[in-house]
Amino acid sequence: MPAEITMPQLTDTMTEGTVVKWTKKEGDKVKSGETIAEIETDKAVMEMELTDSGTLAAILVGEGHKAPVGAVMGLIAKAGEDPHDVKKNAGAAKSAVAKAASGEPAAPAKATVGSSGGGGVATLAAASRGEIHEPDEVGHGATRETPTAVPPIPGNGNGRRVFASPLARRIAADRGIDLNQVTGSGPGGRVVQRDVLEFVPSAAALPTEQGSAPPPVQAPGATQVIVMTKMRSAIAAALLKSKQTIPHFYETIDIDVEHLAKLRERINSQLEKEKVRLSIADFLTKAVAATLVRHPALNARFNPEKSEITRYADVNLGLAVAIPDGLIVPVLRGANYLGLRDIRTRSADLIERARAQKLKQGEQGTSTFTISSLGTFGIREFSAIINPPEVAILAVGSAEKRAVVRGDQLVARTMLTVTLSADHRVVDGATAAEFLRTLKGMLEEPGMMLV
């Protein structure tokens, strides 16, 4: 009997998915663990892995089409089965899928939620995180409805109509890129996000004066109406729900990381030959993971409908990643078991693949605690919005030299400000304060991370 490829539930809130791309075609040999498709969920574009091996006999849900969770997307002929016979008998399954999905293909992608980021940096999206991701395409190379042509953005040279996703057009406008010069890789040559991000202008296309091309200038008194994308709508809904339903409270603490900064320099000098360079964020990740082990009340998820709190022994940290027009939150699983070198290499890999929309199932939406950092933007401190069902999130500012009092002396020290947002339904103020005190102790005396 052929194996069914069914639409997986890749996120907690996913009810249906859109097939962005099939990575195999009918007749190809496939094996368990291989990526078979890229699926757009309510939060992100994620890779789907196979659990069976054989021959891909039939694709029942085409690129750009939706299917509910659990619906059959394709069939795999196992050893001894004829793929042609399997495909012939796939008619009933295909009709069922078409009926469930109303037989209509998904509209050309305006956005997809996902995370970077990203919740999330999981789908939530505090101002600094969210599992929210906006894919720029519905599929590659599939024969589907021809994408609707969109007017050229201001400044495009030849004025011809360009097929492009809304996100691609937005990024191009922000960067002053002429879409006429970008080769599209989407369906029908449609320009998608990846095409714009990877575009390298020719010498002739570069501005004649030094500097980047200026943004289009609107006439005085002009207005611009921007229709919210699916991703932005999801962010708005998630933020509103979190603030309306979760009684947030906030606690802020200043941490002296002068010793940590010097330790980082010494360790990096030793790791130079390995081409590994640790950041303050890596030490923070290590300290947060160790602190959560000692304070499991914050390494938890809350189900208000069942009045259940689930605490976890493993620390799965959500790391906020900024992407164009949104945020996405890949998950560093088992962070409490990782050393600093592994934290650096694994988090760097996760962040890179999050930005490239290459996260796999389980690498997003399964965090037990989230770290949201705006330090690279020079933000000293801020408060983040909790990403349910998590019960807390840590907002991290920039590590900077500040004038502080030590004894009776005013001295310059490297200081870091963090703010913990917690759900008062399940976390008390004293519990949150103890968490911050332990975290402060570990960062001010890094050796405590080893105890």
CB 24 within 8 A of CB 56: yes
CB atoms under 10 Å from CB of 85, counted, come to: 12
The whole-angstrom separation of Cα 357 and Cα 185 is 15
Contacts for 446 with CB less than 8 Å, ≥ 6 apart: 259, 260, 263, 283, 287
DSSP code, position 324:
T
Is 295 among the residues known to form the active site? no
The whole-angstrom separation of Cα 372 and Cα 384 is 7
The whole-angstrom separation of Cα 159 and Cα 187 is 21
CB atoms under 10 Å from CB of 378, counted, come to: 9
For residue 302, list its beta bridge partners.
309
The token duo for 150 is 């969109």
The token duo for 330 is 């890949």
375 — phi, psi (to 5°)?
A: -60, -35
CB 77 within 8 A of CB 54: yes
The whole-angstrom separation of Cα 377 and Cα 152 is 32
SS3 25: coil
State how beta strands 16-22 and 35-40 pair.
antiparallel
The whole-angstrom separation of Cα 235 and Cα 134 is 11
The whole-angstrom separation of Cα 251 and Cα 318 is 20
Catalytic option among 84, 248, 259, 424: 424
What length is written for the chain? 451
Place of tokens 């490829």: 5
Which positions are annotated as active-site residues? Answer: 424
